[in-house]
Amino acid sequence: MEPRRKHSTALHTCHPCRRAIPYRIYAVIHTCGIIALMYHHVLSLLTANNTLITCLLLLSDIVLAFMWATTTSLRLNPVHRTEYPEKYAAKPEDFPKLDVFICTADPYKEPPMMVVNTALSVMAYEYPSDKISVYVSDDGGSSLTLFALVEVAKFSKHWLPFCKKNNIQDRSPEVYFSSESHSQSEEAENLKMRIRHT
* Residue extents of the structural domains in the chain: 12-83, 90-197
Binding residues: 109-110, 139
Render pLDDT for 70-96 as a digit per residue (tens, 0 to 9).
988 878 888 888 888 777 777 777 788
- Binding residues for UDP-alpha-D-glucose, by number, are 109-110, 139
Q: In whole numbers, what is the pLDDT of the chain averaged over residues?
A: 82
**pLDDT-derived band of residue 171, with 50, 70 and 90 as boundaries?**
confident
Question: Picking from 55-59, 88-92, 189-193, which range would have the lowest pLDDT averaged per residue?
Answer: 189-193
pLDDT at 4 over 70: no
Q: Which long-range contacts (CB under 8 A, 24 or more apart) does 126-130 make?
A: 127/92, 127/95, 127/98, 128/92, 128/93, 128/95
State the pLDDT at residue 101.
93
Read off the pLDDT band of 157 (50, 70, 90): confident
